[in-house]
């Protein structure tokens, strides 16, 4: 994305906050999987993940505003705010669960909301990527970038389905409901981290010296 969005509109700040919050949710969920204060850590991880998803929703709204802010096709106002609302609602339910209001049910319901938010996010990302490509001046790589956007959307849809399914099973009750909910949190949070622009920028930065050395290394004859 052009620097006019990333820096002038605070795009990186929102992305970094989202990644840090997601990492915090992963850490809390992993600690909960060890059995130490698992119900409390599950609720805390759900709250943090809800904040991360809400931050992601704010970032998507920023990107939408940067592309012109006009509704086209499936890009409707409810869909634009779906990720933000899912994050806030899930965090609110987890707060009630943290204070003892049926945590065995409310926490996995919040995680299921996050799964639904990721599924909706996949469509949001696809539509938004098409809008950004329409504003791009680099026409030589449009097909590759469109393919990458489609892959990202598919990953978020799959992660949302998996985490939502695990959370729904946990909400139904069972001997391993807490474990399933914690795994659902890890799946959702890991997706937000690994497929964030921050992670991609770091990976590109780490791989750049290797690619440069390979280009400069003479071919043995």
pLDDT band at 11 (very low <50, low <70, confident <90, very high): low
Q: Which of 27-41, 75-89, 185-199 has the lowest mean pLDDT?
A: 75-89
For residue 109, the Cα-to-chain-centroid distance in whole angstroms is 18
Q: Is residue 58 within 8 Å of residue 124, measured between CB atoms?
A: no
pLDDT digits (tens, 9 = 90+) for 68-82: 655 555 455 677 788
pTM of the model: 0.80
pLDDT band at 10 (very low <50, low <70, confident <90, very high): low
Determine, yes or no, domain membership for 28.
yes
Dist CA 176 CA 127 (whole Å): 38
Determine, yes or no, domain membership for 213.
no
pLDDT for 167 beyond 90? yes
Q: Is 207 helix (H, G, I), strand (E, B) or coil?
A: helix
The reported pLDDT for the residue numbered 4 is 42
Dist CA 205 CA 210 (whole Å): 10
pLDDT band at 106 (very low <50, low <70, confident <90, very high): very high
Higher pLDDT, 187 or 58: 187
Q: Is residue 35 within 8 Å of residue 179, measured between CB atoms?
A: no
Dist CA 134 CA 162 (whole Å): 32
Q: Which of 2-11, 113-122, 159-168 has the lowest mean pLDDT?
A: 2-11
Average pLDDT, stretch 13-26?
Answer: 89
Determine, yes or no, domain membership for 29.
yes
pLDDT digits (tens, 9 = 90+) for 42-75: 999 999 999 999 998 888 888 777 666 555 554 5
pLDDT for 138 beyond 70? no
- CB pairs under 8 A, 24+ apart, for 140-149? 149/125
Dist CA 154 CA 22 (whole Å): 20
Q: Which of 36-50, 137-151, 187-201 has the lowest mean pLDDT?
A: 137-151
Determine, yes or no, domain membership for 209.
no
Rg (CA), the chain: 19
Which of 112, 72, 118 is closest to 90 using CA atoms?
112
Average pLDDT, stretch 75-93?
Answer: 84
Average pLDDT, stretch 171-197?
Answer: 90
The reported pLDDT for the residue numbered 77 is 63
Distances (CA, A) of 131 to 46, 71, 82, 178, 185: 32, 11, 18, 40, 30
Average pLDDT, stretch 107-123?
Answer: 92
Dist CA 89 CA 195 (whole Å): 23
Q: Which residue bears the tokens 């850590």?
A: 41
Phi, psi at residue 29, to the nearest 5°? -65, -40
Q: Is residue 142 within 8 Å of residue 136, measured between CB atoms?
A: yes
Determine, yes or no, domain membership for 141.
yes
The reported pLDDT for the residue numbered 2 is 43
Determine, yes or no, domain membership for 18.
yes
Mean pLDDT of the chain: 80
Determine, yes or no, domain membership for 108.
yes
Domain count, the chain: 1
Determine, yes or no, domain membership for 200.
no
Q: Which range of residues forms the domain containing residue 49? A: 3-195
Count of residues in the chain: 221
Write b or e for each residue in 29-49: b if 16 or more Cβ atoms lie within 10 A of its Cβ, otherwise e.
Answer: bebbbeeeebbebbbbbbbbb
């Amino acid at each position: 994305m052009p620097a006019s969005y990333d820096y002038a509109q605070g795009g990186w700040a929102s992305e970094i906050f989202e990644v840090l919050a997601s990492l915090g949710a992963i850490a809390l969920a992993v600690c909960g999987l060890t059995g130490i204060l698992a119900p409390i850590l599950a609720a805390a991880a759900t709250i943090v993940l809800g904040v991360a998803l809400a931050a992601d929703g704010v970032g998507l709204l920023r990107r939408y505003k940067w592309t012109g802010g006009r509704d086209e096709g499936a890009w409707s106002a409810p869909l634009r705010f779906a990720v933000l609302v899912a994050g806030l609602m899930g965090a609110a339910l987890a707060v009630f669960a943290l204070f003892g209001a049926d945590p065995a049910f409310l926490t996995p319901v919040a995680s299921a909301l996050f799964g639904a938010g990721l599924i909706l996010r996949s469509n949001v990302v696809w539509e938004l990527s098409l809008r950004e490509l329409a504003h791009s001046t680099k026409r030589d790589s449009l097909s590759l970038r469109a393919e990458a956007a489609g892959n990202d959307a598919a990953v978020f849809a799959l992660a949302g389905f998996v985490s939502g399914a695990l959370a729904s099973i946990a909400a139904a009750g069972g001997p391993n409901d807490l474990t399933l909910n914690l795994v659902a949190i890890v799946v959702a949070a890991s997706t937000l981290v690994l497929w964030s622009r921050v992670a991609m920028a770091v990976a590109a930065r780490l791989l750049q010296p290797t690619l440069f050395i390979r280009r400069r290394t003479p071919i043995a004859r």
